[in-house]
Amino acid sequence: MQIFKNQQLNIDFIGKRKPAVFISTVLNLIILVGIAVWGFNLGVDFAGGTVVEVKFNKDVSAADVRKRAEAGGLPDVSVQSIGAAGENSFLLRLGGVTQLTEESAAKAKEALQALGPTKSLYPDLANGIINLRSEQPFTAEQISKAVEGSGTGVEEVRVLGQAQSGGFDYQIVASGMADRIRAALMTGLQDGQPDFEMRRTEYVGPQVGKQLRNRGVAALLYSMIAILVYVAFRFDFKFGPGALLAMLHDVVMVAGFYLFSRAEFGLTAIAALLTIVGYSVNDTIVIYDRIREDMNKFKGKPFAEVINIAINDTVVRTILTSGTTALSLIGLLIFGVGEIRDFAWAMLVGIIVGTYSTIYIASPLTIWLDEREAARQAREKARMDQPKTA
């Protein structure tokens, strides 16, 4: 397959490197400032919380579902439509794993103290448990009724028996956020029968989310370091920094997509960034190989001109490779939903900026390093050629 038949391209790519580098630098700075100021829209994977997939048996919109959830006391719930329009399926995201928060724990504590004198009473917010040691025995029904009356759902009351030091021990396990979402969606239904089905529930605790986030970022950094080591062995020093800077540029640009689109940034986003890192360095190495070949073929020509020839020689290959990869994303963009569609958009952005960065980020830095090395050698030669004074 040929795009330019029987025609030798001679496009001055390198001649436009200065304005291209300036524009890229400005965009990268804007994205980095935006990340520092606004941050990403962290998904449940990283921020922790609850995700519930709900399917309604009638036609409803995401706005209708959100309005019903807010009427049921969930003002901060996130609602996202998934699947085809006629499926009436939605993902509801809510921060927190259990209904036990500092505020609800304080109300539950007051309700339990109203039952009778207590020896100790403290909530375990991380595990959604209230530990109670009372001076007199209570039934599980009494405790459950008191806590639920304070606004916190109860999944289980564990009667642990009498303590050796005196008192009676109990553990109250708070209900999960999924139960709260269900109760909110049931608000206003006249017959009391749900018009929806809860298909899937996922919980991610805050500590687990933090650990996933740290490991995801570490995986991204380790992959970039490994690629840099590979490029350093395969090429000489002046090629390595260009490949690294191009990778950083592509990662920041794809991160900018997640920043400005407010798409959820989770494990799927890390997968997209890792894929883009590999794609970026692959395209860069192909052009670097051609540059190394042309350096031997066109000895005596300026280095910038050799690079421009190499880019023109590989531009058709770049178009075909990038175009084929982009075509594979069309199905995901058309039929994908939620994080899958966001992944496809991130990949498309990465393909575009990855192709761009090889030409206008990696190559200009290689030229700049070559010019600095030539200037250093010239200064060294001039210093050696100076006549020695007595």
Average pLDDT of 285-294?
A: 83
Tell me the pTM: 0.70
Q: Is the pLDDT of residue 232 over 90?
A: no
Condensed to tens digits (0 to 9), the pLDDT of residues 333-380 reads: 887 766 788 889 999 999 999 888 888 888 888 888 877 877 777 788
pLDDT at residue 30 in the model: 95
Q: Do the domains spanning 14-42+205-377 and 49-97+179-204 agree at the CATH topology level?
A: no
Closest by CA to 352, choosing from 242, 240, 281, 276, is 276
> pLDDT tier at 260 (50, 70, 90 boundaries)?
very high
Q: Tell me the domain boundaries of the chain.
A: 14-42+205-377, 49-97+179-204, 102-174
Rounded distance, CA 28 to CA 383, Å?
40
Condensed to tens digits (0 to 9), the pLDDT of residues 221-230 reads: 888 888 777 7
1/59: higher pLDDT:
59
pLDDT at residue 253 in the model: 93
The CATH code that applies to domain 14-42+205-377 is 1.20.1640.10
Average pLDDT of 185-201?
A: 81
Q: Strands, DSSP E only, in the chain?
A: 41-42, 49-56, 78-82, 89-94, 118-124, 129-134, 154-162, 168-174, 196-204, 264-265
The CATH code that applies to domain 102-174 is 3.30.70
Give percent above pLDDT 90 in the chain: 10
Match domain 49-97+179-204 to its CATH number in 3.30.70.3400, 3.40.50.10240, 1.10.8.50, 3.50.50.60: 3.30.70.3400
Write the single-letter amino acid at 7.
Answer: Q
